[in-house]
């Protein structure tokens, strides 16, 4: 302990000089700072007015307020960092027992052995230091939990959660779900109509965890939707959003993102990717295959990055399944990863499923695999089924 403030409570006139002489080197080195009181009432007033006293060394028998009463008063203050050492006559076990019951941390006996006093004080201060570290860690943990709670609120409040999302539209069926991890990341999904016939679909994952990721996720989602509403091709949209994120986001944070547009009149699906997993195509015969990966640099990494677009044709009753790596990188208690193969086994021969069936089936499979093992990343799925031309 680098510095400790110790209050000595004793009505004997020689005790101050004895203490100062014994600990003169530590006092000179600013390791200990001693304060003195002649009775419990005076000591209690110092404790309350100061608030920074670490250790109280008190006699039992004193005028006005004795040491046992002082211990009770200190205990009522509920200061868990303040410790007390009681000084009692040798063999006075009744008072020592009472003192310990009233919150004394340790005791020494009279006549005082100065070496024993030194060891007792050092041990008590060391334990106080350790407790302070625990309290500090607990406080930081509480603050972190509050941050994660805020991040979870940010993350979940801006994602679409009302289904069916477009009950008046018969050309498509769409459903999405996200389960955030305790250490909140920044998964995002969105879907919205650009115009009467074109449906935009977005899924992404922000690097890192915590409130910063949740905020960047919210910014990215807002920027993309605003840019997409201009009706530009998917690669141009990603290019513009990337440049804005490079200017606005921290240099060590990035976003993987997949953006597509379904023309509900024809089933044409135009898409671009910024380093995100390509979705699975579920055909009419139940076979599955990831659509062609067009590459693309993660968003926010480098100014003026170029993105590619491609076109895929969905036939009526065919589906696309989108996901984040929280699905395929989920772990069980043995450290085994869920992986793409298990995901594909769930999706195959499910051509009769609706959008919500795909999502619920995958979530159920992942949860059965992890079997209660703590989730390390957000898990997000989105399914889009094209119903007719």
Instruction: Kindly report, residue by residue over 342-380, the tens digit of the pLDDT.
Output: 999 999 999 999 999 999 999 999 999 999 898 878 899
Distance CA 53, CA 60 (A): 19
Question: Residue 145: is its pLDDT beyond 70?
Answer: no
Distance CA 227, CA 332 (A): 40
Looking at the domain assignment, is residue 145 inside a domain?
A: no
Highest mean pLDDT among 16-20, 172-176, 179-183: 172-176
pLDDT at position 151, please? 66
Distance CA 189, CA 321 (A): 12
What CATH number is given to the structural domain containing 227?
3.60.40.10
Return the higher-pLDDT residue of 138 and 352.
352
Same domain assignment for residues 170 and 312: yes
**What number is the average pLDDT over the span 119-125?**
88
pLDDT at position 60, please? 87
Looking at the domain assignment, is residue 144 inside a domain?
A: no
By DSSP bridging, strand 106-110 and strand 83-89 are parallel
Same domain assignment for residues 79 and 12: yes
Same domain assignment for residues 113 and 233: no
pLDDT in tens, 226-246: 999 999 999 999 999 999 999
Same domain assignment for residues 352 and 207: yes
Highest mean pLDDT among 18-32, 109-123, 303-317: 303-317
**What number is the average pLDDT over the span 293-305?**
94
Single out the residue in 137, 166, 186 at which a domain terminates: 137
Same domain assignment for residues 167 and 302: yes
pLDDT at position 214, please? 77
Distance CA 275, CA 207 (A): 12
pLDDT at position 105, please? 85
Torsion of CA 207, 213, 214, 217, to 10 degrees: -60
Mean pLDDT of the chain: 89
pLDDT in tens, 190-228: 999 999 999 999 999 998 777 777 788 888 999 999 999
Beta bridge partners of 275: 257
Q: Where in the sequence is the domain holding 132, given as residue range(s)?
A: 4-137
Same domain assignment for residues 111 and 180: no
Residue 302 near residue 245 (C-beta atoms within 8 A)? no
The one-character DSSP state at 329 is T
Query: How confident is residue 389, by pLDDT bands cut at 50, 70 and 90?
Result: low
Same domain assignment for residues 183 and 305: yes
Residue 288 near residue 296 (C-beta atoms within 8 A)? no
Looking at the domain assignment, is residue 148 inside a domain?
A: no
Element containing residue 372 per DSSP (H, E)? none
By DSSP bridging, strand 268-274 and strand 309-313 are antiparallel
Nearest to 264 by CA among 327, 212, 198: 198
Q: What is the torsional sign of CA 300, 279, 309, 266?
A: negative
Question: Residue 160: is its pLDDT beyond 80?
Answer: yes
What CATH number is given to the structural domain containing 13?
3.40.50.2300
Same domain assignment for residues 114 and 226: no
By DSSP bridging, strand 319-323 and strand 280-282 are antiparallel
pLDDT in tens, 66-119: 989 998 998 888 887 788 998 887 778 888 888 888 888 888 888 888 888 888
Beta bridge partners of 319: 282, 385
pLDDT at position 2, please? 63
Element containing residue 14 per DSSP (H, E)? none
- Mean pLDDT check: name the lowest of 3-17, 93-107, 123-137, 218-232: 123-137
Looking at the domain assignment, is residue 151 inside a domain?
A: no
Same domain assignment for residues 259 and 367: yes
Q: Count Cβ atoms within 10 A of the Cβ of residue 242 and give its class: 0-12 exposed, 13-18 middle, 19 or more buried.
A: buried
Which residue's structure tokens are 């009505």? 11
User: Within a 13 Å sphere around the CA of 77, how many CA atoms are in the beta-carbon half?
Assistant: 22
Looking at the domain assignment, is residue 265 inside a domain?
A: yes
Query: How confident is residue 129, by pLDDT bands cut at 50, 70 and 90?
Result: confident
Number of domain units in the chain: 2
**What number is the average pLDDT over the span 255-278?**
97
Looking at the domain assignment, is residue 152 inside a domain?
A: no
pLDDT at position 16, please? 86
Looking at the domain assignment, is residue 149 inside a domain?
A: no
The model's pTM is 0.66
Same domain assignment for residues 86 and 164: no
User: Within a 13 Å sphere around the CA of 240, how many CA atoms are in the beta-carbon half?
Assistant: 17
pLDDT at position 182, please? 65
Name the phi and psi angles at 207, rounded to 5: -70, 155
Same domain assignment for residues 119 and 164: no
Question: Could you tell me what percent of the chain has a pLDDT over 70?
Answer: 95
Question: Residue 157: is its pLDDT beyond 80?
Answer: no
**What number is the average pLDDT over the span 300-307?**
94
Same domain assignment for residues 132 and 242: no
Looking at the domain assignment, is residue 263 inside a domain?
A: yes
């Amino acid at each position: 302990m680098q510095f400790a403030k110790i209050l000595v409570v004793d009505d004997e006139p020689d005790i101050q000089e004895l203490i100062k002489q014994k600990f003169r080197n530590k006092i000179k080195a600013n390791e200990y700072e001693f304060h003195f009181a002649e009775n419990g009432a005076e000591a209690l007033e110092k404790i309350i007015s100061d608030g920074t006293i670490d250790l109280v060394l008190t006699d039992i028998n004193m005028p006005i307020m004795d040491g046992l009463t002082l211990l009770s008063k200190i205990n009522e203050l509920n200061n868990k960092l303040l410790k007390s050492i009681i000084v009692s006559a040798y063999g006075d076990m009744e008072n020592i027992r009472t003192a310990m019951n009233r919150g004394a941390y340790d005791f020494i006996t009279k006549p005082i052995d100065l070496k024993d006093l030194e060891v007792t004080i050092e041990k008590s201060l060391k334990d106080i230091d350790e407790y302070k570290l625990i309290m500090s860690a607990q406080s930081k943990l509480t603050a972190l939990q509050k941050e994660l709670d805020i991040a979870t609120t940010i993350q979940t409040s801006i994602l679409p959660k009302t289904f069916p999302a477009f009950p008046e539209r018969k050309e498509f069926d769409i459903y999405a779900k996200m389960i955030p991890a305790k250490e909140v990341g920044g998964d995002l999904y969105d879907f919205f109509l650009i115009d009467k016939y074109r449906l935009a679909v977005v899924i992404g994952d922000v690097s890192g965890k915590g409130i910063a990721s949740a905020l960047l996720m919210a910014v990215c989602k807002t920027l993309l939707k605003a840019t997409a509403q201009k009706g530009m091709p998917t690669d141009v949209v990603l290019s513009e959003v990337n440049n804005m994120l490079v200017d606005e986001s921290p240099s060590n944070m990035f976003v993987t993102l997949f953006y597509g547009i379904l023309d509900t009149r024809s089933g044409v699906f135009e898409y671009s990717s910024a380093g995100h997993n390509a979705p699975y195509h579920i055909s009419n015969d139940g076979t599955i295959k990831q659509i062609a990966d067009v590459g693309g640099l993660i968003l926010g990494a480098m100014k003026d990055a170029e993105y590619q677009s491609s076109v895929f044709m969905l036939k009526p009753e065919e589906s696309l399944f989108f996901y984040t790596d929280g699905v395929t990188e989920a772990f069980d208690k043995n450290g085994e990863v869920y992986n793409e193969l298990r995901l594909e086994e769930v999706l195959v021969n499910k051509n009769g499923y609706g959008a919500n069936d795909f999502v619920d089936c995958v979530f159920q499979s992942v949860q059965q695999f992890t079997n209660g093992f703590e989730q390390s990343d957000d898990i997000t799925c989105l399914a889009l089924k094209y119903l007719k031309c």
